[in-house]
Amino acid sequence: MSLLAINNLTAGYGKLEVLHGVSLAVEPGQFVAILGPNGSGKSTLVKSVFGLTRIFGGLILMENNSLAGLPTEQIGGHGLAYIPQRENVFTGMTIRDNLLLAVRKLDKTATEQALNEVYQLFPILEQRRNQRAGRLSGGERQMLAIALGWLSRPRLMLLDEPSAGLSPLFVKEIFRVLQQLCASGLTLAVVEQNARSVLRWCDYAYVLREGQVAFQGTAADILADEETVKNYLGVGRIQQ
């Protein structure tokens, strides 16, 4: 059974349909990339899973539990975490206070253990734990956002453009940690414009074009298809 199954999904905003009959599946433990040019519907797809768009038709199933039409807070209760591209941390609070808010229901011992696990993943967050999140660099802020999502202990984490605007060094570090989390059992669905980076890490990818799935396959399948790489991803041949 797929952890997440989307069948013939049509969704958008108001009266505007952005997705037109999209179907995909995310298996437990997979690192799935959602690729495509700007305006292809990538972000709309993950927002739809988390209840942030209008669903016109189709199914969104989390282990056969229907999510379409549920309030966002109920969807999170099914074991999903969503990391938006922007406004994903509390900028007026310190790093430590952001993290403490995410684990506020834990006792003292469990709280300290959770914080230590985050600091092992992202040592720079420990170094700057007393700094306000609004003063972090883009890469550091993205690390904090991922940490906050992970602290909810989801089974599936949805990320929207986690590498957007980051330096190559931070991009590499973000994907290294995501792959590490995936190896520990977390399932990932990652929207990315940076196909060159994510295809080095993911297990499977879907390429969207104009709100529909134009191509799907393993990273090797996509890299071997010159037309998809050139026309849909907007980059030259990517070396594995």
pLDDT above 80 (res 238): no
Residue 102 counted as domain residue: no
Q: How many domains does the structure of the chain reveal?
A: 1
Tokens of 100: 């403490």
94-131: per-residue pLDDT in tens? 999 999 999 999 999 999 999 999 999 999 999 999 99
pLDDT at 234: 59
Domain range holding 57? 4-85+152-232
60-80: per-residue pLDDT in tens? 999 989 999 899 989 999 999
Residue 121 counted as domain residue: no
pLDDT at 232: 65
Q: Give percent above pLDDT 70 in the chain.
A: 96
Residue 56 counted as domain residue: yes
Residue 90 counted as domain residue: no
Tokens of 11: 């969704």
Give me the CATH number covering residue 214: 3.40.50.300
Question: Partners of 207 in the beta sheet?
Answer: 35, 215
User: What string of DSSP letters covers 159-203?
Assistant: EE-TTTT--HHHHHHHHHHHHHHHHTT-EEEEE-S-HHHHTTT-S
pLDDT above 90 (res 227): no
Estimate to the nearest angstrom the gap between the alpha carbon of 43 and the chain centroid. 10
pLDDT band at residue 222 using 50, 70 and 90 as cut-offs: confident
Residue 211 counted as domain residue: yes
Residue 222 counted as domain residue: yes
Residue 92 counted as domain residue: no
* pTM as predicted: 0.90
24-55: per-residue pLDDT in tens? 999 999 999 999 988 999 999 999 999 999 99
133-169: per-residue pLDDT in tens? 999 999 999 999 999 999 999 999 999 999 988 999 9
Query: What residues contact 72, with CB distance under 8 A and at least 6 apart?
Result: 50, 51, 52
Average pLDDT over residues 190-218: 92
pLDDT at 237: 45
pLDDT at 239: 43
Question: Partners of 212 in the beta sheet?
Answer: 209
